[in-house]
Structure 1
């Protein structure tokens, strides 16, 4: 089996990057996703120190961009579009400074369009963003996340299609979201294998799967909120079995609401 890293969805200590890495090691994690969903709190020197400490400790870093940092706006202009581009630009700058593997972002919304038109808009605007990042030496890999609302943009097929059209954007599997939008179908390894295979088909050799995982509450095929591990029906055992069928490493970020749940997931995936 290729290596499975497990990490937290946020830096556990914000006052000192070295202490943050020490805390991750003490908890047994070898990955961490820097959480900017609620806004930026880290500057570039802090990120550089974090990256150096993480490399020395063999901890893989990723970045989650702010929630408003999505592409596919109806018009590639105006305040919302500029704010989104700025958020993704800054996320990429932090990722470059700390050596993060990928910047995770959300795919956006249909906004009354067909799914095909919405995807085309996302791809076009990502191209504009990429040119901007290349000019700043921030052209890091991006990861587009599978979403948890069945009628929104962001199904597994959507993010694979966007990734296929860009080449530098990779799908990010969120199995809690997949479990919710399938009305709780992700119980056996076979569905996990199908999802991983779809992503494996568009990833470059050696690129790790990037995965979000937690137990989940849902209704009408839409996510409600994350649950402590064991309170819902999503389990890590079939994910581990499915990952064993691929010769590709994986980074799994636990989005559980409590540390005990994250430790339970880590124990299953690394046993």
Structure 2
């Protein structure tokens, strides 16, 4: 969609919403991490008070997949689990890891069923040592998404060409998913948005001083293609940058998105919640 068409349908910027009114989903939070071991319950309470109705938990390997399933069973209807092998965790034993994770997929919890395959993808930022293995592991997990019709939570860094090449082969059979932590330009956004059942995840980077996202997003990405995320404990938004991130901090992302798109915060929440419903089938 051309930028002028996107902007034409947007309302003028309105008021900020109160915490009572706001309702949103954190679609990407590593709440199982040791960074939260001392105050996980308090973090969840702050999230609830800020308006966060649900927190989606991506895994990075087999042990975290197990932890996330256990944690989600303790908080049904608040925490929603995924399982998967993160590209940075792909090593020589990746096949064994995937075999173990596959068992979890085929024996789902009746208390807290899986909502996605993730966090999966490609990451060549630091090294291409395991490039071949990453490509194979990602494609296997894309095939899982096709087989199970569970959406994908995709991590991609310095590998968009390779990632898009794989997704294209399965695009007509994939249920959709999220391109997590989008930080790209208008051309990269357009390339990802060609997959019409996928959305872009936006978090704290939007608020950074040098971020170009406040200019890129309103002219390149319609609000019906965005979801909110933290990637906690990482990537805390301004003014919390440098601290441990948590789900309640999404309020700062919502505020910045509302300013960028020229709408009020409730409209941001409405659109992103509808997108969560479309991709994951979860309504808040």
Q: TM-score, normalised by structure 1?
A: 0.55
Uncovered stretches (5+) of structure 1, i.e. residues with no partner: 180-185, 217-228
CA contact (8 A) 1:105 1:142 kept: no
Q: Write the distance in 2 (CA, Å) between the matches of 1:43 and 1:147.
A: 22
Give the length in aligned residue pairs: 216
Whether 2:170 is the aligned partner of 1:145: answer no
Q: Please tell me whether the aligned partners of residues 102 and 143 of structure 1 are also in contact (alpha carbons under 8 angstroms).
A: yes
Instruction: Map 1:4-83 onto structure 2 (within 5 A).
Output: 5-7=24-26, 9-11=29-31, 21-37=44-60, 39-40=63-64, 42=67, 44=69, 46-52=71-77, 54=78, 61=80, 63=82, 65-67=84-86, 79-83=93-97
Contact 1:4 1:251 in 2 (8 A): no
Distance 1:240 1:93 in 2: 42
Q: Deviations over 1:86-134 (max 9, x none)?
A: 2354378678742453232323588676xxxx57x8546754x579xx7
2:252 match = 264
- What's the RMSD between the two structures over aligned residues? 4.8
Distance (whole Å) between structure 2 residues aligned to residue 209 and residue 146 of structure 1: 13
**Deviation of 1:167 (Å):** 2.3
1:187-222 per-residue CA deviation (whole Å, 9 max, x = no partner) reads: xxx54762463132xx2xxxx735253429xxxxxx
Post-superposition Cα deviations, 1:143-187, rounded to whole Å, max 9, x if no partner, equal: 152511148832xx23531541642463524312xx2xxxxxx2x
Which protein has the bigger helix share? Answer: 2
Gaps of 5+ in 2: 1-8, 10-21, 242-249, 259-264, 266-284
Give SS of 2:115's match.
coil
Q: Report the secondary structure of 2:212's partner residue.
A: coil
Distance of aligned partners of 1:232 and 1:62 in 2 relative to their CA distance in 1, 3 Å threshold: farther
Higher strand share: 1
Q: Taking CA–CA contacts closer than 8 Å with sequence separation of 6 or more, which of the two structures ends up with the larger relative contact order?
A: 2
Q: Distance in 2 between matches of 1:9 and 1:97?
A: 20
C-alpha change, 1:94 and 1:35, in structure 2 (3 Å) is farther
Shift of 1:81: 0.3
Normalising to structure 2: TM-score of the pair?
0.53
